[in-house]
Amino acid sequence: MGFIGLVIAPLVATLILVVGLALWRTRALPPRTAADPPGVRTFVTFAGGRELDGTSGDENPATWGRGLFKTILDQLNAPDLAAGPVDDEDYGASAPVDLDGERHHIHLGYVGDDPEEWLLSVETERRGSPHDSPALRRALVALDAALRAVPALREVRWHRRESWSTSEVAAWRPSPIEDDDIEE
């Protein structure tokens, strides 16, 4: 085996090992779903709050949401809940939230249609759609209370993830946790 063989063989072996470990690791993760767990809503729309944003005179909606998002995060109040740094995105912002050892990501985006001017969603670090857990439910309840604690916000409406982009968007509820969503 020549010099090239001595260099390429370990690289190929390393590549195979890395790909194999990545595939092995993902087999233990739950499948990616596009639905909320039964009894849970992780998309919330609301109106108002532009005056809290500090960008009310800015005509570029891509800059809207940052100040409003920080105001909402400041209202989050639950034991053992820690919000991470805000990441600015086009048309909104996001931040990680840790609760009971689980990490969730909250995203705020501008949708622009009154009364559903803003869309806030909760994702998990485990491949997108949230899995049901007591921590997720506590985070959603804390988020609902935070939204309702901001007087400038109105028409808080919780939606199921799978209904948001369909004609069922009108099937909103006032709470993120609904016992009547649970199928028996």
* Strand partners for 108: 93, 120
* pTM higher than the cut 0.95: no
Average pLDDT over every residue of 120-149:
84
- Give residue limits of the domains in the chain: 1-30, 33-181
E-strand ranges in the chain read 43-48, 81-83, 87-89, 92-99, 102-113, 116-124, 153-159
Q: What's the rounded Cα separation, in Å, for the pair 36 and 129?
A: 7
For the segment(s) 33-181, the CATH number from 3.30.310, 3.30.70, 3.30.110, 2.60.40 is: 3.30.310
Is the pLDDT at 119 greater than 80? The verdict is: yes
Model confidence band, residue 32 (pLDDT cutoffs 50, 70, 90): very low
